[in-house]
Amino acid sequence: MGGRKGRTGMTAAPKLTNAKPSNLRADFYARIGEHGMTPLWEVLKGLITPEPRSPALPALWRYADIRDFILEAGELITAKEAERRVLILENPGLKGRSSITHTLYAGLQLILPGEVAPAHRHTQTALRFVVEGEGAYTAVDGERTTMRPGDFVITPSWTWHDHGNDSTRPMVWMDGLDIPLVQFLDASFAEAGHEDVQSVARPEGDALARYGQGLLPVDHHVRTPTSPIFNYPYARTREALETMRRAGPWDPHHGLKMKYVNPATGSWAIPTMATFMQLLPKGFEGAAYRSTDGTVFSVVEGRGFTLIGGDRFDWGPRDIFVVPSWIEHRHVAADDAVLFSYSDRPVQEAVGLWRERRSA
């Protein structure tokens, strides 16, 4: 390349001309760009920010406003044809990304009476949170579980699963998956089943009986970080919350908030998604709170509102809303309210990134 060689034999830098610095820099950037390089100083402030700056926006989906669209989808395409008949809840700040936060996916799935969503498996882990209807089932690796409103159901990574509706009513549940996270890591695999419905190998309730009673089989070995329980019934969760409310104490930010856990490890029920259920008593006015894990909420019972970054979002049963990373928010309950939620907190904790800030 051009330039004079000094005593070391290295090429001397070209002499500066009278050209303006901005022109010199633009020319330099263009030349290094041809070699797959770019200057850090031009993007540093956007890469390493003083605080999180998520492009995700606070948003709320009122179930009363979107239910007709969900049912209309059932008239347009069958569950088998669609493989999964789901309307994605897409964050308005993440248009075109099929995600509700940077790392999480959310959608509402419809199964009509007599339908089957055929068996498949994938590396993405899924949760199901039942919003409407009763009597449909999810089958996971040879065991079925009947689904009821408020139930939290897990489909672990790379497990065969199918859904069916033997009831006489439409069934709707929220799907929560770690799709964006797995996609970012380039670790997605999927496989269709040979049959629409997998063979039942264990009686219904087997997993809950083995692992959900404060006991474990004597020869149980932890082979996966995901909970061996794949249905956490709402009736049991609600009873636990009601019992605990009599003893307290109430958290000033969250009310009475519990996390779902893997009984074999005591850790999160899902390794990539934290799941919670919380009770806010009537008249509860939460203190302001923020954390780095963007969180999706589904309202089970009660009415109230959440102030998110200064905006008010009024919610009621079956509504879904999202609080992005590091946005201050607080809950206010007009009635006794129960909220289910999920976030990417386990991943952040595992790598030492999770933070929270509690206002007085």
- Per-residue H/E/C for 37-94: CCCHHHCHHHHCCCCCCCCCCCEEECHHHHHHHHHHHHHHCCHHHHCCCEEECCCCCC
Q: What is the pLDDT of residue 16?
A: 52
Three-state secondary structure call for residue 26: helix
List pLDDT tens digits, range 110-140: 999 999 999 999 999 999 999 999 999 999 9
Domains in the chain, please, with CATH?
Answer: 61-358 (2.60.120.10)
Instruction: Give the largest Cα separation in the chain, rounded.
Output: 89
Per DSSP bridges, beta strands 152-155 and 231-232 are antiparallel
What pLDDT is stored for residue 14 in this prediction? 54
Distant-in-sequence, close-in-space partners of 243: CB < 8 Å, separation ≥ 6: none
Among 99, 106, 84, 271, residue whose Cα is nearest residue 192: 84
Residue-averaged pLDDT of the chain:
94
Lowest mean pLDDT among 12-16, 143-147, 286-290, 351-355: 12-16
Q: What mean pLDDT comes out for the span 144-148?
A: 97
Model pTM score = 0.92
The gap from C-alpha 140 to its chain's centroid, in whole angstroms, comes to: 20
4 has a pLDDT exceeding 70 = no
> Does the pLDDT at position 1 exceed 80?
no
- Tell me whether the omega of the peptide bond preceding residue 52 falls within 30 degrees of 0, making it cis: no
Write out the DSSP string of 134-178: SSEEEEETTEEEE--TT-EEEE-TT--EEEEE-SSS-EEEEEEE-
